[in-house]
Amino acid sequence: MLSDEEIMNWPEAGTATAAPVIRADHLDLTFQTNDGPVHALKDVSLDIAKGSFVSFIGPSGCGKTTFLRCIAALEHPTGGSLTVNAMTPDEARRARAYGYVFQAAGLYPWRTIGRNVALPLEIMGYSRAEQAERVARVLELVELSGFEKKFPWQLSGGMQQRASIARALAFDADILLMDEPFGALDEIVRDRLNEELLKLWDKTEKTIGFVTHSIPEAVYLSTHIVVMSPRPGRITDVIESPLPKERPLDIRDTPEFIEIAHRVREGLRAGYEE
């Protein structure tokens, strides 16, 4: 394990004694396109401690999704170093270290909700009994018990997205990466799912990386808010939230909340003006 000096990037984050689960060091990523190279990530350094909830916020093109995809080894950085659970991202992917939730639920229309959630378990070779047990457990976690036999088209968009979160939770990855999971949902459903996500995070103690372009969502959910700006994609500010772990929805009207939201907004604006 790592020494004490290395651990303490954010002393108060989550479980304070843990080593960073994800560590990016001067990360660079340049895409070669027909219109010339695109600098998607430039000099991104960030440590994510175990059990923290980190939101990435910024305008489109700021590289927030790209960074998440780098952690998931779906993109490959062209410079710098990145470790996930002290492994390379690709090793971590092969060790099935994370669950990934995309913007679209992406449930298979030919599988019932239960069988959709069981998909990663089938691929990873869990026994039938274990599959059934885990499916029942995670469906309860996202409050979809009783919908196991339904097909995706029989569910609302919010319920489908909950099922896709259940699918990412079904196996024992302790990192959950979410790429604008609620971006396509309406405000009311989004509020409800945000609340549920916090409870779920509390219960499962996962480390969550969460991409969003909604300031209230980022402030409400996170222990740390990473503000990014585009061209080239880089981190302009990392805000540590002073909000308590227990967060009812109306915490969004408190002065503390509004102050953080203000700081995020300032950070976003600064990124534009540079």
Partner 1 sequence: MAEASDPKAGTSAGGWPRWLRLPPVLGMVLALLAIWYVAVVPMNVKEVLTAAERAGVEVSPPSAVDRRDMGNWALVFRNTHALGQSWSSDRPKLPAPHQVLVELYDSTIDEELNGRRGIMRSGTLSNRSLIYHALVTLNATFLGFLIGALLGVGLAVGIVHSRVMDMSVMPWAIVSQTIPIVALAPMIIVVLYSIGVQGLIPKAVISAYLSFFPVVVGMVKGLRSPDAMQMDLMRTYNAPTSSVLTKLRLPSSIPYLFASLKIAIAASLVGAIVGELPVQKGGLGARMLAGSYYGQTSQIWAALLVAAALAALLVWAIGAIERRTLRRMGMMP
Residue 210 contacts residue 130 (beta carbons within 8 Å): no
Given the rule CB under 8 A, which of 71-79, 217-225, 232-240, 258-266 is the region that contacts partner 1?
71-79
| Residue 126 DSSP SS3 | coil
Binding mask 75-94 for partner 1 (x = CB under 8 A): ------------------xx
Residue indicated by tokens 């196991």: 148
Work out how close the CB of 255 gets to partner 1 at its nearest, in angstroms, rounded to a whole number. 40
Q: How many residues does the chain have?
A: 274
Work out how close the CB of 147 gets to partner 1 at its nearest, in angstroms, rounded to a whole number. 13
Residue 147 contacts residue 139 (beta carbons within 8 Å): yes
Residue 26 contacts residue 44 (beta carbons within 8 Å): yes
Given the rule CB under 8 A, which of 8-16, 101-109, 190-198, 209-217 is the region that contacts partner 1?
101-109
Which tokens sit at 97?
Answer: 């270290």
Residue 175 contacts residue 21 (beta carbons within 8 Å): yes
Name the residue nearer to partner 1 (CB basis): 114 or 232.
114
Residue from 79, 108, 199, 262 that binds partner 1 (CB under 8 A)? Answer: 108
Given the rule CB under 8 A, which of 49-57, 104-112, 182-190, 239-247 is the region that contacts partner 1?
104-112
Work out how close the CB of 171 gets to partner 1 at its nearest, in angstroms, rounded to a whole number. 8
Handedness of CA 175, 164, 221, 195 (dihedral sign): negative
- Under the binding rule (CB under 8 A), the answer on residue 72 touching partner 1 is yes
Residue from 32, 60, 110, 248 that binds partner 1 (CB under 8 A)? Answer: 110
Name the residue nearer to partner 1 (CB basis): 67 or 257.
67
Name the residue nearer to partner 1 (CB basis): 3 or 127.
127
Binding mask 119-138 for partner 1 (x = CB under 8 A): xx-xxx--------------
Residue 193 contacts residue 160 (beta carbons within 8 Å): no
Q: What is the dihedral of CA 192, 198, 201, 207, to 10 degrees?
A: 110
Residue from 10, 56, 98, 210 that binds partner 1 (CB under 8 A)? Answer: 98
Read off the DSSP letter of residue 249. Answer: G
In angstroms, the CA 8 to CA 49 distance is 9
Site residues for partner 1, 163-182, by CB under 8 A, read none
Binding mask 6-45 for partner 1 (x = CB under 8 A): ----------------------------------------
Q: How many Cα atoms occupy the beta-carbon half-sphere of 53 within 13 Å?
A: 22
Picking from 250, 252, 233, the residue whose alpha carbon sits closest to that of residue 241 is 252
Residue 43 contacts residue 27 (beta carbons within 8 Å): yes
Residue from 43, 80, 151, 238 that binds partner 1 (CB under 8 A)? Answer: 151
Cross-strand bridge partners of residue 31: 38
Work out how close the CB of 93 gets to partner 1 at its nearest, in angstroms, rounded to a whole number. 6
Binding site for partner 1 (CB under 8 A): 72-74, 93-94, 96, 98-100, 102, 104, 106, 108-112, 119-120, 122-124, 151, 153
